[in-house]
Structure 1
Amino acid sequence: MSTNYNRIKVADLETNEPNKILKTNANGELEFSNVIDNKQLKLASDSETQINYTVAEDEKVISRLKLFNWWEWLKAQSQTISGTWNFTNKVTLAAGNTATPSLIIPNGTLTNFPQNGSIERDSNGQLWETHNDVRARLATTSEVILIPFKASNNIQTNITGTLSATAQSISSSTIVGSIKNSSVSRLNLSNEIYFYSNNPSLGNIDPIEAKSEIYLKINNGLFSSHFSGISPTNQIKIIEFSGLNNNGLKNYQSPFLTDIQNSDIMLAQWSKIQFTTQNIKDGVTTNGEATYYLRDASNSRTFGVSEASFSFVIVNTVTYADPTNSQGKNISKIIRTNNYAIYLETIR
């Protein structure tokens, strides 16, 4: 039959042969053709698909199984990706081992313009990070002094009146494990002593003593003057400011050394701390040295500094000859200690 008006040749239908498909020939006409059997196709093998080099076109096809095998093979290969990949979900790196780190950022050149969120490495191997449009160098622990303890706020301790009295304040606690059993640190305390008469004051007799003391307290153990645990106490004096003329800023800095006889705490004969003490009486300073051994709360074994939790205690004391002011002659006094900062710096 004629194929005018897009008609299909009837002769093709009359043969009644199965497994035929319609396809367009070179003239745009629909014709019946044999169905291609997949078994007749040339399939690429695993070794032919898992390659990293160019081959000539061989018109072979890939089955779903070979495609899956290729993807598993590809994921196991070392790849260099030159394009920009954007991940919309998280990226989880494999755990590092003794031979291979999880991530390597090679030396390079910093971008001309900082890009927020970026981490870069310069030609010297130094890492940089950018946030709020500011690029900053990432410091290493060898370049910074660690702060294992810093008091969280200003600590003020007050006594006001005409009676003998004591007032106490306590700092926040160090975190267990923040101070090593063997370390070199520096202890810093910035204080202001304020000792004045109330105005007006009806009496005329000054106190016989006014002092402010700062102690180191161990919250879960004991201090001892000997590693055997004799004369145990839970707090030891670091500083004393005393006298009736001792006003103003008082800064204290001291080496704070920790040491242990054996790295295994349970086998150690002793664990100790060392620091300098300071006594300022009416402006005259006297320094000393102190060594104390740490024991557990039951005083039954050596206690590592790394096991301990410490706090700082500030104690103000005013003492009158007439402690209750029964004669009404005591001058009303204010004694105030402002502790502006307590912090410990680890050198090594």
Structure 2
Amino acid sequence: MADIPKDAPEHCPGTDSGSAGKASACQGCPNQTICSSAKPQGPDPAIGEIKNRLASVKHKIIVLSGKGGVGKSTFTAHLAHGLAADESKQIGVLDVDICGPSIPRILGLEGEQVHQSSSGWSPVYVTDNLAVMSVGFLLSGPDDAVIWRGPKKNGMIKQFLRDVDWGEIDYLVIDTPPGTSDEHISTTQYLSQTNVDGAVLLTTPQEVALQDVRKEITFCRKVNLPIIGVVENMSGFVCPKCTTESVIFPPTTGGGEKMAADSNIPFLGKLPLDPRIGKCCDEGKNYFEEVQESPATLAFKSIIDKIKDYCMKRREQIETDTGEENR
């Protein structure tokens, strides 16, 4: 009989088992590394499986920051809405913020559930051309907490990337939590063979946010993740009535634009604060439809156009490089 560690979880396969450290019961176990290291480990076969699964996804965009509270999920949702405004395009949103899944609420999908079919998990649809997957759909209620160790979170991300049946889609936008840790490493590693277009880095003007975003830039460069550009969110407050703009967070060290210039990466633009954005997110409404001509709407659309242009040029370059390799 296989030896069972005394502090092992229920249903532990035992140290002599071929699934030691690999079974679902092993996720989050403090002995998982020890058990799994008993035999040599090769490349995770899931990387190849994810490559095949996402072969039908033309563009993959990761939204990063490093800093919490800068509006990554809000930006992700608005980027998706902006891309989906072209009804000829199919858009997907993947929420890998495992412990703070706010995408379902922002996109008006709170309370929806995921369904499984023979081809995998079916995403939840906002509109006919905007699909979403989030751990929020797997919880029994919005107040449920996800209390998982890193390995179990990583396993969830792997499952999302490998098992969700997106079908043929033009853009997959991936929302991430703050930091440069487990979820970020797992996401970039699992997507390493899928020709990710790159990352959009979000910041706010103050230095305390810029410090963390600089760390995210370093992370992207270390894992060879292309950077599409920097967006400065909450760069000023625009009054909904008179459209007068006021500075709320003074850019004491030059803000996102200077940071982008210093780091030699593109600056995509500034997004002003508008209280109606928060209201629409709380109510699960599309801000672009509710407030069509606001300064924030125009700023969002300008940034989205730059991201689309970048993705188009990158795809053309990849196709050119592939063609030359095949000659």
Greater C-alpha Rg: 1
**Which structure has more RCO (C-alpha within 8 Å, separation ≥ 6)?**
1
Q: Which has the higher strand share?
A: 1
Coarse TM-score class (shorter-chain normalised):
under 0.3
TM-score, normalisation: structure 2:
0.21
The structure with the greater share of residues assigned to helix is: 2
